[in-house]
A and B are shown apart, each in its own frame.
Chain A
Amino acid sequence: MMRDEVMLEVESLNVHYGDFQALHNVSLSIKRGSVVSLIGSNGAGKTTLLNAIMGVNKPTSGAISFLGERVDGLPTHKIVAKGLAMSPEGGRVFPKMTVKENLLMGAYLPNARGKKVAAMEKVFSLFPVLKEKSDDESTFLSGGQRQMLAISRALMGAPSLLFCDEISLGLAPVIIKDIYRTIGAISHEGLTIVLVEQDVKRSLKYSDYSYVMLKGKIVLEGKSAELSEDEVRDAYFGTNRYAHY
């Protein structure tokens, strides 16, 4: 396992919604084993980028490659089968299914199905509250628990790259800290993680590398440890140096 291997490569991606251009020439690369954060406010294009990578939107031009294979234009379920997983914004847990059934669905893919028992044990050790509530219907969970379920469900598929879309949205700080600690643990085991967040401080703290988006473009990137919070905030809000975007 080469530390510097590029898992996901996005090259000059352009995405349009009708006449409106949502992404302008976006390029990024995610290295194996790293934790990358994608920072931006609402409307900056994070969701559009994620949707393009996961096959929900079709890009107008550009390329998306995962482990060397082109994946742009493929339907979502085929992309997921290659090892990409996402905990979507809001969790989107299946409403009329129990926690256990949600997790079982996470292991839907054939290669994950065989390992589902071990995977569930693993997930329960990461988030013990899910084990307690395993027979409860997912709608009875609190916001934080639902987010934990969403992440666990994504993990059940034994992915090689995990996208976490706004996992801290609407949650109490204590819960967020809890979840991020677990994310850290998962990362230490070697899983490549991409955190999509609005929270600048937290994003920089928990990631190795960061991309900042503004108005559909990547305006700033770099090793998280080397980026200053002020510079990131300027890029985020489009102030000072970044006012011309």
Chain B
Amino acid sequence: MSSGMKASRWGNKHLAQKPGIVCLMAMFLVSLPFWADEYITTIFIQILLYMSLGHMWNLLAGYTGLVSLGQQMFIGLGGYSLAVITEVYHLPMLLGIFTGGLVSVLFAWLISHPIFKMRGVYFTIGTWIAAEALAVFFSNWTFVRSGQGFNITISYGLSTGDIYFVALAAGAGSMALVFLLLRSRIGLALMAMRDNEHAAEAIGIDLYRTKLMCFLLAAFVTGITGGAFYLSIAYIQPFAAFGIDWTVAMVFMVIIGGIGTMEGPVIGAAFYVLMKQYLYAYPGISMILLGTTAIGIILLAPKGIMGMVQERYGLDLVSVRRWSKEG
């Protein structure tokens, strides 16, 4: 899918250049738990965490060209790291979450060599199978209490506000990381690869290393987000932790919000969380609705909501393009 690279007719209208708006949003988000009720705070926790997942899936599929249906492996690893660190070793929760990120990166690095040998659809299904394999493995592993799973008791002592700040860190952090990455040399490499992989290689871009960096970064952030998720869910079990439902969320969020854009995962996450809330009593229907919306988007507006906005108004809220001085 193209990343909607169109020159803006309206000049430099990107949010990053308007520190005032960024400050306002930051103040809004940081102060939220102090004035909003439990329900709203919980919604925002969900949106922030799902957005983080979305940013990472978008980084892989939208910018690096790696369609992964197996990111749930890092969510599971992150969640289980938290569970093991806090329940088995009785260490602090933040350490548990951070370990989740570490374990995820290590695992990603371990499987990177074979998994990058798989191209295209083989990679896609390969990642999915790796996740399923982990699910089966964890459900047989007594150290992590097999199919029974863990109650993450440390969560019981936390307030919604506490969990919110963890989620905020994860969400804001992931967005900032993607933003910075795309503005770095790796970002340029990604854009070159996006247009023509062979040409990119010919001018000296190391395809493998670029893809690996993105894969590892996505693994790290997804792992941490997984830990944060399970902090709020407070109970982990292998088939749900490594289940495809996580990827379903990521795919639908990003496709509907707009693949290959920075704002897409944000819009998609809000859409996803709100829709699930609204249709809470009818879980099957929300999935069917999301699925049909995603199909509709692919057929009619493949660039998603944000893509449509960009095309119509030449607008970039948070640009990742490098503007020349003349703009």
A and B touch in the complex (CB under 8 A): no
Q: Which residues of A contact B (CB under 8 A)?
A: none
